[in-house]
Amino acid sequence: MNTLLLDRTAWDLVLDAAGNIAMASDPYAVAQDVASAIKLFRGELFYDTNPGVPYWEEFLGHRPALSLVREHVRRAALTVPGVADAVCTLTSFSDRALAGHVEITLQDGTTQTVSF
């Protein structure tokens, strides 16, 4: 599977050496797509408002149980084609900032770590 390569800082398109839009391939492509799925606010995708994490409804302005946060992140990761399993680990939650990583297992058995 290929996907458009995104800059890790700006989360914007990257150009290759020839000036074309760069592509990412597996397994990096799957990891990047998992990161995109985790960043997606539910309702933000204009052609299908169901996917995404319910940041507005359940997280922002609320103090949800961390187990609920982990489960929503896990479910978002599992929506990505090629992901067989996902385990979310939260490493920090202070000053209203949440950090962690998702260990994804691909269908071929390999693992990747996606940080957020």
pLDDT digits (tens, 9 = 90+) for 8-18: 999 999 999 99
List the one residue out of 71, 77, 7, 14 whose CA is nearest residue 40: 77
Distance CA 40, CA 76 (A): 9
Residue 61 confidence (pLDDT): 86
Q: With H, G, I as helix, E, B as strand and everything else as coil, classify residue 93.
A: strand
Residue percentage of the chain with pLDDT more than 70: 100
**Residues present in the chain in total:** 116
Going from the C-alpha of 89 to that of each of 4, 102, 108, 114, the distances in angstroms are 27, 6, 22, 10
Query: Residue 30 pLDDT more than 90?
Result: yes
Q: Which is more confident, 7 or 98?
A: 7
What does the domain layout of the chain look like in residue ranges?
27-115
* Domain 27-115, CATH class in plain words: alpha beta
